[in-house]
Amino acid sequence: MGWKTLDDMELAGKRVLVRVDINVPVEEGRVTDTTRIDRIVPTIRDILAAGGLPILLAHFGRPKGKVVPEMSLRVTLPALEAALGQKVTFVERPDPAALGSLPEGAVVLVENTRFSPMEEANDLAMAQFLASLGDVFCNDAFSAAHRAHASTTGVAHLLPSCAGRLMQAELSALESALSTPTRPVGAVVGGAKVSTKIALLENLVGKLDLLVIGGGMANTFLAAQGAQLGASLQEPDFIDTAKAIMAQAENTGCRILLPVDGLVAREFKAGADHEVVALGPDTVLAADQMVLDAGPQSVKAVTAAFADLKTLIWNGPLGAFEIPPFDQATNAAAADAARQTKAGTLVSVAGGGDTVAALNQAGAAKAFTYISTAGGAFLEWMEGKELPGVAALAA
């Protein structure tokens, strides 16, 4: 662990710049999901308890370097104040002198960092200006750590820096799941397309004992074995890629588990008529048939494989989980992983894309050891890439 935490910093009487991610969903001027806000509360409270002044830096939406009033962070103030149980001072144009005169116990939220084109350019002048506002930099935005921006990496090189509580939890969970896991270790990787997860799969097969592939991705792997899957979502251009990944897995001793049966329908809609069809190299579906979920025998194989694991990483659903009955495999496998986690026999870490929504829908998320709210950063970590925001803390 090459990065410091809040416990390593002297915060009393210090202005603490805290990069957070409160890029939350908003409808009609109200925050509709406070999860990301709730998760930064421990960091802010610990800074206050240590006598520091938290100055929150964050982005909201994609204003592309321009001031866009409807993307002002002001909209998050009521939810932020409710989560903290106190008033928050909102500052459009921060001034070091004004910040220094705020009373002890104050919390400051600075306007959207992306209102300036210098933010995403990681402009040194903006990083220097931000550094002038604080004495210490604390990055608590793992979900933005894959971006080299002025407020994530630039300022980290100019001030004593550390990870906040959320960043600390994310990094610790991911390191224990992939960098130094208790073996055997496996992963569920699902979703629509192989093309979006090539780097992820190539990295994982060199590190895992088991790789469960689901969703539309599994169709491409089955097609690579010879299956003819009709109208199923698949990527013919990536059949050779799937073959190469399977060959790599064989060389590294990683077992790949593909569906052995599936729920097959002729319509992509909730409640569509469907049948369970065996899947394998010899499968031939009609031109209008499509696999929309893994079948019951596949679920049995997955849960049996889970029983042999000590660590599980989960990214993506096993089928079209948004529409019943094609959510069955995801729900059943997630429930089994949750049961084993509760029993203390499995460490389970999940994140990225639709994963959180799928596990919440399955009622399994709360039982997992750790659920990451990061999307792109979680995937890039799993791909084995260096995240600029994390690297800057270790510099």
Q: At what angle do helices 296-306 and 328-342 cross, to 10 degrees?
A: 20
Residues in contact with 374: Cβ distance below 8 Å, sequence separation at least 6, in sequence order: 142, 143, 145, 170, 351, 352
Catalytic (active site) residue 19: no
| 342 annotated binding-site participant | no
* Catalytic position from the list 65, 206, 375, 376: 376
In whole angstroms, what is the distance from residue 283 CA to residue 329 CA?
A: 20
| 23 annotated binding-site participant | yes
| 235 annotated binding-site participant | no
| 60 annotated binding-site participant | yes
44 backbone dihedrals φ, ψ, rounded to 5°: -65, -45
DSSP 144-159: GTTS--IIIIIGGGTS
| 197 annotated binding-site participant | yes
Catalytic (active site) residue 376: yes
Catalytic (active site) residue 342: no
Helix (H), strand (E) at residue 89: strand 89-91
| 352 annotated binding-site participant | yes
Residues in contact with 152: Cβ distance below 8 Å, sequence separation at least 6, in sequence order: 19, 139, 141, 144, 145, 388, 389, 392
| 355 annotated binding-site participant | yes
| 87 annotated binding-site participant | no
| 22 annotated binding-site participant | yes
| 375 annotated binding-site participant | no
User: Tokens in use for 45?
Assistant: 């409270």
In whole angstroms, what is the distance from residue 307 CA to residue 318 CA?
A: 18
| 250 annotated binding-site participant | no
14 φ/ψ sector (left φ>0, alpha ψ -120 to 50, else beta): beta
Per the CB < 8 A criterion, the answer to whether 384 and 203 are in contact is yes
| 252 annotated binding-site participant | no
* Catalytic position from the list 36, 134, 214, 319: 36
| 354 annotated binding-site participant | yes
* Catalytic position from the list 214, 351, 353, 389: 353
* Catalytic position from the list 193, 207, 255, 310: 193
Q: What is the CA radius of gyration of the chain?
A: 23
Residues in contact with 20: Cβ distance below 8 Å, sequence separation at least 6, in sequence order: 40, 43, 56, 57, 58, 140, 141, 164
In whole angstroms, what is the distance from residue 146 CA to residue 231 CA?
A: 36
In whole angstroms, what is the distance from residue 363 CA to residue 384 CA?
A: 30
Residue 318 β-bridge partners: none
Binding residues: 21-23, 36, 59-62, 114, 147, 197, 322, 352-355
Give the residue numbers annotated as catalytic, written as ranges: 36, 193, 353, 376
Binding residues for substrate: 21-23, 36, 59-62, 114, 147
Binding residues for ATP: 197, 322, 352-355
